[in-house]
Amino acid sequence: MPQYDQYEGFQVKSPDTWTEFHKQKFYTKPFGDYDVEIKIEACGVCSSDVHTISGGWGDQKFPLAVGHEIVGRALRVGPKVTLIKEGQRVGVGAQSWSCLECRQCKNDNETYCPKQRDTYGAEWPETGIVTQGGYSSHVRTHEHWVFPIPDELPSELAAPMLCAGITVYSPLVRNGAGPGKKVAIVGLGGLGHFGVLFAKALGAETWVISRTHSKEEDAKKMGADGFLATADKGWNEPHKMTFDLIISTANAFGSDFDLSGYLSILDVHGKWISVGLPEDETLQIKPQDLISNGVLVGSSHLGSRKEMLDMLKLAADKGIKSWVETVPISAENLSKTMQRLQNNDVRYRFTMVDYDKEFP
């Protein structure tokens, strides 16, 4: 494909060798009228990266550079671009395309467009070129999925908001989290910590539900109003039918996953929204657990451009600080970081930085 431009990035060659990253060149799609070309400066590390390269979410197109919490500079913009200016600091999240013409797209639901495409691992139909993620020198994306980053937000703190942040922000605002509402965040990991930060910033009474009390101090530092540990016998009893909304970041539905307990603390028609996506697991629901308070179980996928801009503005206005450990990008550090993430050895998010050394 010599007619196409090339970028360089850290790719994984197959799920069997998913802990090995190789810096190599790859082709990128032709520069379109609505495209923005971005020189990458930082990229957050998401569990999706591990699920994808290790094969947990099924077949993928290799070799592949993952990473979809990208912050960088707009090097150039296509002739029809109106949303982004050259030189602007911008972000790209987990989605990079949708049709922008269907009912969903026209309704600020472009993340639910049947034709939506991911930032990495998706095939551009015209060329067969596979989209590559942010552990790379550059990324080239339609302006709709490129977001100006407010000056107040450092790149390494803004990056993880672009997937983890929006994943919890969207269901919070769509389900009314705000003053007078009582919200629980299940699981205090990368997603959960943003759940607490944003639910508080939106004005909701915010509780964290975790297995044990080990993260209680962190939760309080993030601003949580209350903390419940499901390992405590009868943890749910005093809270029955008092919560309006639960955002669950749990990504395993094993035997210690107490769905009945979670649903019992919801008020009538309260919602349990899962934003964790387990590998090959099924959610088992007893109809009796739904009927006694008429609750709803659902899920949520990223958020719209409009919500992304609102979220970044809220973060800038309220001085929200993501809890981030920065790691200089390199093949070795990507390998170590992915393995630490898989072992839950992270509080609460990694951002790869120092791109200039590897991609001068």
Smallest distance, Å, CB 288 to a second copy?
Answer: 7
By the rule CB under 8 A, 274 interacts with a second copy? yes
Smallest distance, Å, CB 144 to a second copy?
Answer: 17
Residue span binding a second copy (CB under 8 A) among the ranges 42-50, 202-210, 229-237, 265-273: 265-273
Comparing CB distances to a second copy, the nearer of 114 and 319 is: 114
By the rule CB under 8 A, 295 interacts with a second copy? yes
By the rule CB under 8 A, 11 interacts with a second copy? no
By the rule CB under 8 A, 294 interacts with a second copy? yes
Residue span binding a second copy (CB under 8 A) among the ranges 4-12, 19-27, 46-54, 293-301: 293-301
Please list the residues that pair with 73 across neighbouring strands.
Answer: 39, 89
Among residues 126, 131, 174, 166, which one has the least CA distance to residue 273? 174
| Total length of the chain | 360
Residue span binding a second copy (CB under 8 A) among the ranges 7-15, 27-35, 67-75, 267-275: 267-275
Concatenating the DSSP letter of every residue in 151-198 gives TTS-HHHHGGGGTHHHHHHHHHHHTT-STT-EEEEE--SHHHHHHHHH
> Is the Cβ–Cβ distance between 331 and 356 less than 8 Å?
no
The type of residue at 6 is Q
Q: How far is CA 247 from the centre of its chain?
A: 14
CA distance 109 to 104: 5
3-state secondary structure of 19: coil
Q: What is Dmax (Cα atoms) for the chain?
A: 66
Residue choice 25, 296, 313, 345 for contact with a second copy (CB under 8 A): 296
Residue choice 19, 127, 260, 292 for contact with a second copy (CB under 8 A): 292
Residue choice 2, 59, 79, 103 for contact with a second copy (CB under 8 A): 103
Smallest distance, Å, CB 350 to a second copy?
Answer: 24
By the rule CB under 8 A, 301 interacts with a second copy? yes
Residue span binding a second copy (CB under 8 A) among the ranges 85-93, 205-213, 223-231, 288-296: 288-296
By the rule CB under 8 A, 286 interacts with a second copy? yes
Instruction: Give the pairing type, strands 6-11 and 205-210.
Output: unpaired
Total of chain residues touching a second copy, rule CB under 8 A:
37
Q: How far is CA 298 from the centre of its chain?
A: 17
Comparing CB distances to a second copy, the nearer of 157 and 295 is: 295
Q: Quick one: 58 exposed, middle or buried, by C-beta within 10 A (0-12, 13-18, 19+)? A: exposed
By the rule CB under 8 A, 252 interacts with a second copy? no
Q: Quick one: 360 exposed, middle or buried, by C-beta within 10 A (0-12, 13-18, 19+)? A: exposed
Binding-site ranges for a second copy (CB under 8 A): 103-104, 107, 109, 112, 114, 174, 240-241, 267-269, 271, 274, 276-278, 281-288, 290-301
